Structure 1
Amino acid sequence: MARGSGNIRGARIGSGPLGEPERGDLAPRTTVSFWCGKDHHTQLSFAVEAVVPETWDCPRCGLPAGRDRDDVPVAEGTSRYLTHMGFVRQRRSQEDGEILLNEALAKLRGTS
């Protein structure tokens, strides 16, 4: 089995020299910790002059995460799925439905 030379191991061909001198220095950064309701801990780096958000979506579970471990944000509840009949029942009472049904049946029977 032939062994290749390890000269370029870990680097892409044509990527150029590694290190800071050619690319420039990184902007000054600050590390901020976020915790979600499932106690997942996430550390993110932000530029010092950047505005750090109050909440961040947890990359592990998707819940909102806050900067205070003891006071994590609560996920906004999602509304339950409603069928067409569910929406109708929000707008009309059972009695209104009976009246409309009787009117429609009367029209179909031709007795109105």
Structure 2
Amino acid sequence: MVHPVSGFRGTRAGVTAGTGSSLQGGADHGSPLPRIRVSYWCAKGHVTEPVFLQLPDVQIPAVWDCRRCGALASRDGSEAAGTEALDDGYKTHLEYVKERRSDQDAEDVLAGALERLRARGVLPDELLRDP
């Protein structure tokens, strides 16, 4: 429970403009603040349409993350084509392993693991033998 004199005052999901300059809407529920839907297109042609408070055009972001593929999307679609090639630095576990090991190292590790399994009797000798 929040103390009635608390300094923390939030807004509801449906922010309204009450009397005066407050955005809170208090006891007299004013009309909802004007909203706009902005379209963003990624390089793959997906459309993302987040809703913003009606703000000056310069305050609305020029790029937004695509909800379908995660790539950057722009309002006119032209910037998105150039940003697709940017690397965000994320690598999968397999990519890290491939950086550390060559194909021959991978074959050696697999052969050693299969030999240990055969020695424990988990795998039959004829199964997965090199031809």
TM-score class, shorter-chain normalisation, is 0.3 to 0.5
Quick check: which has more Rg, 1 or 2?
A: 1
TM-score normalised over the length of structure 1: 0.45
TM-score normalised over the length of structure 2: 0.40
Higher RCO, Cα 8 Å, sep 6+: 1
